[in-house]
Structure 1
Amino acid sequence: MSEPHQIENWLTDMDGVLVHEGVALDGAAEFIGALREKGLPFLVLTNNSIFTPRDLSARLSASGIEVPEERLWTSALATATFVSQQMPNGSAYVIGEAGLTTALHEAGYILTETNPDYVILGETRTYSFSAITTAVRLIKRGARFIATNPDSTGPSVEGPLPATGAVAAMISKATGQAPYFIGKPNPVMIRAALNRIEAHSEATAMIGDRMDTDVLAGMEAGLRTYLVLTGSTSAQEVETYPYRPTEVRASIRELIDLL
């Protein structure tokens, strides 16, 4: 067998790898600092579509991790990229926050309730029954159903919150239409990230804390995958999956030597 390509590009999840509840995790600032010092192409990925890259950059900076906004890749950006390629200069009815609406505007999309090409569901903390009803009726009339990510719950200080996947399930039940999810584990999000930094899958690695999103997406996109144990998945849980990461590490600090 041929030797694997040297890792020249890095994709890393954010929550559970770099930060947890706004606090930097072990080695995160040093890992990102080493990437920037060496000039290695990288992106920080998140399924969260609420915030713009500028917002996320500021939040990471507050935790001591300096990530330029152009190095952040969200499910909102991936969704805007996808629909603009599928239907340039189209229209959408959107349930979501500034991260999603800004990305769609910048992609040339019109946001409207009048015969939209798509209904696009993203993350929000203020889901409206009225907005969900509008989405259901538009899908029933023929609008295509897209959701930024399949996560059924999201984290908070008080405990889990219903997330995009849970609300998507409600709309699907009412319409009989399943959404096309853009975010991880869909390798579409990974492929779009690779294109953004002009990287090849053979020379790129994905770092994540979840087997069912990060590792699965990276594996299906042909990347080497590193699972870190600072987030959602324990070492024991890894054994329950039918697929494996390339390596399991305690934290992202243990990957600095690979740079």
Structure 2
Amino acid sequence: MEFKALVIDLDGSVYHGNTLIEKADEALKFLGKKYDILYLTNNSTRSRAEFARKLANFGISCTKQQLITSGYAAAQYLQEHYASSKVYVIGEQGLKDELTEHDITICEEDCDCVLVGLDKEFNYKKMSKALNIILKGAVFIATNTDPFLITSEGVKPGAGSLVTAIETASVKKAIVTGKPSAFITDLIVKKLKAKPEEILIVGDNLQTDILMGIKGGMRTALVLTGASKLGDIERLQIRPDYIFKSIKHIPPFLDKNLHDGRTEKDCQD
């Protein structure tokens, strides 16, 4: 299978927080010469422009048009389905910036939609406000349901922890627009203008990156530098097409070995 495009997860695949994974910049420079590259993250706390600047600081060339964040996906979803809505946002400035760029109205009163992303200042007051808006009939949308984040300071609650609290209180499930939703998968295919089977998604998380790729008909590559480990494959019964110790091992494999049809454990070395 010859790929036309690669979708690359960021945190855990390219970097850990503010630390670049070894030789990730060199790998991406090589891959960028041969494939269309799209970067993907469930992190909604930064805008696409901010992520592009972060990658540039690592020496990785990227425009915001090459990025899809869960915040951007949420803004696209709102624009397509609820363009005239007034949205109460639990989230950080990056998420709000994406909504503003899409001409979505952000509100504090008389809201008819609640959007929840990661918010490091989340509190009982915000949860209560969101709850009451939802109970009045508002649409409830979540950027993602990641339960935790792996950071340089240890494991921390993810956006999914906030979403679950509000779902429990409201007895209403959120519409999820980030990984591994069908919406963000369709967004990827439209952006790349490629067939799903022509796309290879690279990520560190079986339950988001790899599951999304499998459900979307894409080929998948797990890198063992982040959330998921080898033992999780059997436990979760989510099987990637390829497994690599790190993103730096992907260019030589694609350059030399893809025609051999090697999969899973053959790719680890």
Q: Do both share a fold (TM > 0.5)?
A: yes
Deviation per CA, 1:160-191: give whole Å up to 9, x if none. Answer: 22221111111112211121121112132122
Q: Does 1:28 align with 2:24?
A: yes
| Superposed CA offset, 1:81-122 (max 9, x none) | 112111223221111112211111222211113332310001
Give the C-alpha shift of residue 212 in structure 1: 0.9
Residue 239 of structure 1 aligns to a residue whose secondary structure is: helix
Of 184-193 and 213-222, the range deviating more from structure 2: 184-193
In the TM superposition, residue 193 of structure 1 has moved relative to its aligned partner by 1.8
- Matched residue SS, 1:166: helix
Aligned residue for 1:17? 13
Q: More deviation in 180-189 or 208-217?
A: 180-189
Instruction: Tell me, in whole angstroms, the C-alpha distance in 1 between the residues paired with 2:239 and 2:158.
Output: 27
Aligned equivalents of 1:62, 1:152: Cα separation in 2: 28
C-alpha RMSD of the superposition: 1.6
From 112, 136, 150, give the equivalent of 1:141: 136
Alignment partner of 1:173 is 2:168: yes
* Contact 1:24 1:65 (8 Å CA) reproduced: no
Runs of at least 4 residues off by over 6 Å: none
The answer to whether residue 7 in structure 2 is matched with residue 7 in structure 1 is no
Deviations 1:114-139 (A, max 9, x none): 33231000112111322221111100
Secondary structure of 2:44's match?
coil
TM-score, normalization by structure 1? 0.92
- How many Å apart are 1:219 and its aligned residue? 0.6
Task: Kindly indicate whether the alpha-carbon contact (under 8 Å) linking 1:187 and 1:218 is maintained by their aligned counterparts in 2.
Answer: no
Instruction: Give the AA of the match of 1:180.
Output: I
- Structure 1 residue matching 2:115: 3-state secondary structure: strand
Between 80-89 and 136-145, the greater mean CA deviation after superposition? 80-89
Residue-pair matches, total: 254
Shift of 1:255: 1.3
Give the conservation status (yes or no) of the 8 Å contact 1:31–1:253: yes
Aligned 8 A contact 1:90 1:108 in 2? no
Contact 1:22 1:60 in 2 (8 A): no
> Hey, what does 1:89 align to over in structure 2?
84
Q: Tell me if the contact between 2:9 and 2:39 (Cα under 8 Å) persists in the aligned partners.
A: yes
SS in structure 1 opposite 2:38?
Answer: strand
Q: Is the 8 A contact 2:8 2:38 kept in 1?
A: yes
> Normalising to structure 2: TM-score of the pair?
0.89
SS in 1 for 2:250: helix
- Contact 1:94 1:111 survives alignment (8 Å): yes
Q: Which moved more, 1:57-66 or 1:142-151?
A: 57-66
Letter of the aligned partner of 2:5 in structure 1? Answer: N
Contact 1:121 1:164 in 2 (8 A): yes
Aligned residue for 1:160, secondary structure, equals: strand
- Provide the residue aligned with 2:266 in structure 1: none
Give unpaired runs (5+ residues) of structure 1.
Answer: none
Q: Which runs of 5 or more residues in structure 2 are unaligned?
A: 256-269
Residue 243 in structure 1 maps to residue 238 in structure 2? yes
Contact kept? 1:49, 1:100, Cα under 8 Å: yes
Q: 1:221 aligns to what?
A: 216
CA distance in 1 between partners of 2:45 and 2:68 (Å): 12
CA contact (8 A) 1:29 1:66 kept: no
> Which residues in structure 2 correspond to 1:56-135 (within 5 Å)?
56-135=51-130
Equivalents in 2 of 1:46, 1:168: separation in Å?
18
Q: How many Å separate the matches in 1 of 2:152 and 2:196?
A: 36
- Cα distance in 1 for residues equivalent to 2:138 and 2:178: 20
Q: Does the alignment pair 1:50 with 2:45? A: yes
What is the CA–CA distance in structure 2 between the aligned matches of 1:36 and 1:216, rounded to whole Å? 24
| Structure 2 CA distance for aligned equivalents of residues 124 and 243 of structure 1 | 29
